Structures are given as C-alpha cells and as structure tokens.
Amino acid sequence: MDLARSVAGIEFTDAKRQLIESRLAKRLRQLDIGMDAYAERAIKDPAEQEILFNALTTNHTAWLREPAHFDDFSRRVLPHLATGGRNRLRLWCAAASTGEEPYSIALTIARFAGDSLSRWDTAVLCTDLSTKALTAARSGLYTSERIAPLVEADRRLALEPADGPPVTSWKVKPVLRNLLHFARLNLMDEWPMKGPFDVIFCRNVMIYFSRETQERLVNRMAGLLAPGGTLYVGHSESLSAIRHPLQARGPAIYVRNE
Ligand SMILES: C[S@@+](CC[C@H](N)C(=O)[O-])C[C@H]1O[C@@H](n2cnc3c(N)ncnc32)[C@H](O)[C@@H]1O
C-alpha cells in the first residue's frame, strides 16, 4: 500500500484496502509468498511494479462519459481553435484508461471538422499508468455493449465491425485512431512533454490522490496549458478546496487566463 502511494500517488481507504487485497491475492498465490515478501520484491523489481499497478488501478470508463465536457469541447473550444482557419489542436488525455475517453475526443473532433478533418493539425497525447489498460486502448476494440452510449451516426463515424454477422465487436476506424498517440506515463513522475496544450482531460483519476497531490498536479497542468487553454476534471473532482491559477468555466471545467 505504501509503495502504491509513494510511486503511483494512490491513496487507500479501508474499504479500498479490502478490494486491493483481494485483487492482489491471486498474484500472491501465483508467487506463493505473503504480502511483506511481495512488497519487498515489488520495490526492487520494475516488472513486478507494472503487474502490481495493473492490478491496483481502477480503469472504469465509458464512451462519451460526462457528456457536458464533449459539448463544451465541441461548442466553445474547437470553434475557437478553428478561428481564421488555424485548425491546430494540441491535447493531452492524462488518464486514458482503455481508450473510450480519447476515442470520444477523436470522435468529437471528427464530428466537428467533417470533411475538413485532413486540414486540421491535430496531436492528441493519451497517457495512463496501466500498461494493461493501454494495450486495450491501442487495440481500439469494443463490444457492442461498450459502445451502447453512441448514437447510430456517431457509431458509423467512429467504428467498423470487427466480426460477424452478427456483429458483436467493433474496431475504431483508422481516421480516428490516427489522431491519437498512446504512451505510458505515471502522473507522479517527471513529464517529458513541454506543452503548451490547448486542452487537458484529466478526469476521474485525481479522486485516488491526496489533496496535496491533487494541488501539485493541477498546478503542473496549469503550467502546461496555453493561454486560454482548458482543463477538464471529473465531475466529482471539484478544485474548490485547492489553490490553483485557473478560472472555473462550468462544471469541472477550468480555463487558464488569456
Ligand atoms: C477511473 S479511470 C478514468 C478513465 C477516464 N479518464 C474517464 O474519466 O473515464 C482512472 C485511470 O487513471 C489511471 N491512473 C491511476 N493512477 C495513475 C497515475 N499515478 N498516473 C497515471 N494514470 C493513473 C488508471 O490506470 C485508470 O486507467
């Protein structure tokens, strides 16, 4: 638990502790060792840390989750970036999980740009701590159940059948997939990218961190935003209790001054 806190910033309540122990139990049985011996091993062995974080992280996500953010991105941010034919977007999705969030971002861009998508200079960096989640994200494969939040027009724009008939799984179309670049990044580590970003999505990951870690993280992100840039956080992650230089712009929407 201490290792998870110091390396990944993840805090555990008593309720979560039980969940974690049950998730780790399988690995302990495989190795036939106890928790203390396991902690010692994981501290020394980066490969074991990867297995540990894959087991510890909660990857719950969904297509177009918290849709107000995609509306704001489409109605306020993208038109601003398109002004004067500039059509340039630098975006960071900081907890990309299994890909539903970044592909929803790509879908929103494609829907907005229409036939002009090829005239956009777009770079969307998608990072996560979990290599397991990133492997799923890179595959771009989703069951019919997972894509249920999409209306038919969005489904047609974003996905093509991966099997069937009858179709039970779907693959993200290259036109969306090519907008995204996936990489592993622990938010607690140094960040190799310099920015500036027009938009950062960092949603539903800070709830696992302490208030101090959240404050440090939000201030680091604010420093990477372009003037006028937008930070989206999860709807249950209000930044009202922490000090930061951003202006609230809507529910869980924060903007850096121009
Ligand atoms: C609950 S999911 C949220 C996914 C997506 N942002 C959304 O809102 O639907 C949280 C994600 O944060 C990732 N995560 C947890 N700790 C992290 C850390 N220290 N650095 C980077 N990602 C982390 C997990 O692997 C997981 O994929």
What number of residues does the chain have? 258
Q: Is 66 in the pocket of ligand 1 (CB under 6 A)?
A: no
Nearest Cα to Cα of residue 55 among 9, 23, 30: 23
Q: Atom 19 in ligand 1: which residue has the minimum CA distance?
A: 8
What pLDDT is recorded for position 226? 98
Distance (angstroms) between ligand 1 centre and the Cα of 135 equals 14
Q: Quote the Cα angle for 69-227-123, to 5°.
A: 60
Q: Is 59 in the pocket of ligand 1 (CB under 6 A)?
A: yes
Q: Is 230 in the pocket of ligand 1 (CB under 6 A)?
A: no
Q: Atom 26 in ligand 1: which residue has the minimum CA distance?
A: 59
Q: Quote the Cα angle for 54-12-56, to 5°.
A: 10
What pLDDT is recorded for position 140? 98
**What is 67-255's CATH superfamily?**
Vaccinia Virus protein VP39 (3.40.50.150)
How does pLDDT run across 163-202, given as a tens digit for each residue? 989 999 999 999 999 999 999 999 999 999 999 999 999 9
Distance (angstroms) between ligand 1 centre and the Cα of 75 equals 26
What pLDDT is recorded for position 40? 86
The helix or strand, by DSSP H or E, that contains position 73, with its residue range, turns out to be none
The helix or strand, by DSSP H or E, that contains position 128, with its residue range, turns out to be strand 121-128
What pLDDT is recorded for position 18? 75
Q: Which numbered atom of ligand 1 lies nearest the CA of 202?
A: 6
Q: Which of 97, 203, 231 to mutate to test the pocket of ligand 1 (most atoms within 8 A of CB)?
A: 97
List the chain residues with pLDDT less than 70.
Answer: 1, 12-16
Q: Is 187 in the pocket of ligand 1 (CB under 6 A)?
A: yes
Helices (H), the chain: 2-8, 14-31, 35-44, 46-56, 67-72, 78-81, 100-113, 131-139, 152-158, 174-177, 211-224
What pLDDT is recorded for position 15? 65
Q: Is 104 in the pocket of ligand 1 (CB under 6 A)?
A: no
How many C-beta atoms lie closer than 10 Å to residue 159's C-beta?
24
Distance (angstroms) between ligand 1 centre and the Cα of 197 equals 19
Domain with CATH 3.40.50.150 in the chain: 67-255
Which residues lie below 8 Å from residue 210, measured CB to CB, with a gap of 6+? 9, 11
In order of 88, 118, 120, 202, 254, the CA distances from 257 in angstroms are: 19, 30, 25, 19, 10
Q: Atom 24 in ligand 1: which residue has the minimum CA distance?
A: 57
Compute the chain's Rg from CA coordinates. Answer: 19
What pLDDT is recorded for position 13? 66
